[in-house]
Amino acid sequence: MNTPDTELVAAWQARVASGQFSEGVLGVGTLRVMGKSGDAPLTWPRITSLGALDTLAEDEQWALRQAQAVVEQAERNARTVFDVAPTEGKTAPTGTRVTTFAPESESLIVLSRIAGG
């Protein structure tokens, strides 16, 4: 039995594979959660602001909300989130700490929480 989320996941994955996005989409953002070995990165449609959310297709809205929820959960759990600027491999990537989801970001990383010391 397919649930609505299962259908949205399949629609989003098909959209990413085809590259056919709604008009306001800048590209695909990637979110990686450190400490979750083997998990595939979470992707979302990059848009200029959350105000443009209602211009997206239902599966695009779902994907964006999933990424936003991960960032918000990380913040509640005292895990640091960085917006990592892409590089061409010539220099090490640099990151800026973020405390709220930025839908225009290209790459976000949630760091593992350090326990002990």
Contact 90, 69 (CB under 8 A): no
Residue 34 pLDDT > 80: yes
13 or 1, which is more confident?
Answer: 13
| Dist. CA 67–CA 46, nearest whole Å | 11
- Is the Cα torsion angle 54, 57, 60, 66 positive or negative in sign? positive
What is the C-alpha end-to-end distance of the chain, expressed in Å? 47
Band of residue 41 on the pLDDT scale cut at 50, 70, 90: confident
